[in-house]
Amino acid sequence: MTPANSFRTVTRLASLAALSALLAGAGTAFAQTTVAPAPWPQASIEITPKVGYRWGGQIPARDTTAVAYTGDLQSNGSWGLAIDIPISRYLAIQLLGDHERTSVGRDTLFVPPAKHFDLDVNYYHLGLVWQWPSGNVTPFFVSSLGIGDLRPQAAGFTSSQRFSASVGAGVKVAFSEHVALLLEGRGFWTDTGSADSDWWDRGHNGFSQGQVNLGLTFSF
């Protein structure tokens, strides 16, 4: 091999080595900019204080002697706390407490509702959360069963604890590794039927409420 051929061979090898290094560096930079690790930790306990707004709900006159008409629950703000305990990356057990101070009245056409008495509606539920983490966005579906605690704020009325259930869906958007914004829509149903009636009749008694929530989720 002549000196000229040796020089050309060395030059080609150096060029190939430089091109390989350049391609490897470009590939590493591309991977770092396009494949970011999910900021939301996996399988962690989550605590979510939240505020919301509830609407809807009627207590049939046949279910209570407190009023002589079907009572309408007035829409109002609410607040609550949810604790999610992970079973896996996609499933968690939820402990829920949620409170609303509303009032029972009677809606009439074109006239403001006549308020009869204030009523605290508290939900204490145990549920399951199905979630699908994807980067910093986690959509979820939730269902729960528990107690609807109805507490009239008027002299001479007694409180009542009834079976209730809920279903809902929402999304969590992570700000950082341990904090996320929660947006949720939820529906509640509470039994108000007589304990002496059968389940089919009781299923037609009760009230339903809708709710939207905004919260901050802290993971540990």
Per residue in 56-85, pLDDT (tens digit) is 888 876 666 666 667 789 999 999 999 999
With the C-alpha atoms ordered 158, 159, 163, 165, is the resulting torsion angle positive or negative? positive
User: How far, in Å, CA of 39 to CA of 126, rounded?
Assistant: 28
Pairwise pLDDT comparison (4 vs 209), residue with the higher score:
209
Residue 40's pLDDT is: 53
Question: What is each CA distance from 95 to 82, 118, 143, in whole angstroms?
Answer: 6, 26, 11
Helix (H/G/I), strand (E/B), else coil: 158: coil
With the C-alpha atoms ordered 170, 175, 178, 181, is the resulting torsion angle positive or negative? negative
Pairwise pLDDT comparison (109 vs 153), residue with the higher score:
153
Q: What is the pLDDT of residues 143-175, one digit of tens each?
A: 999 999 999 998 888 899 999 999 999 999 999
pLDDT at 116 exceeding the cut of 60: yes
**Are the C-beta atoms of 215 and 50 separated by less than 8 Å?**
yes
User: How far, in Å, CA of 174 to CA of 191, rounded?
Assistant: 36
pLDDT at 32 exceeding the cut of 80: no
The mean per-residue pLDDT over the stretch 174-181 comes to: 94
Pairwise pLDDT comparison (170 vs 33), residue with the higher score:
170
pTM of the model: 0.75
User: How far, in Å, CA of 161 to CA of 131, rounded?
Assistant: 30
pLDDT at 133 exceeding the cut of 50: yes
User: How far, in Å, CA of 64 to CA of 159, rounded?
Assistant: 12
Pairwise pLDDT comparison (218 vs 157), residue with the higher score:
218
Residue 68's pLDDT is: 61
Residue 19's pLDDT is: 44
pLDDT at 26 exceeding the cut of 60: no
What letter does residue 169 receive in the DSSP assignment?
E
**Are the C-beta atoms of 107 and 72 separated by less than 8 Å?**
yes
For 46-219, CATH gives 2.40.160.20
Nearest Cα to 98, choosing from 180, 44, 168?
A: 168
Pairwise pLDDT comparison (68 vs 47), residue with the higher score:
47
Exposed / middle / buried, residue 62 (Cβ in 10 Å: 0-12, 13-18, 19+): exposed
Pairwise pLDDT comparison (8 vs 108), residue with the higher score:
108
pLDDT at 9 exceeding the cut of 90: no
**Are the C-beta atoms of 207 and 55 separated by less than 8 Å?**
no
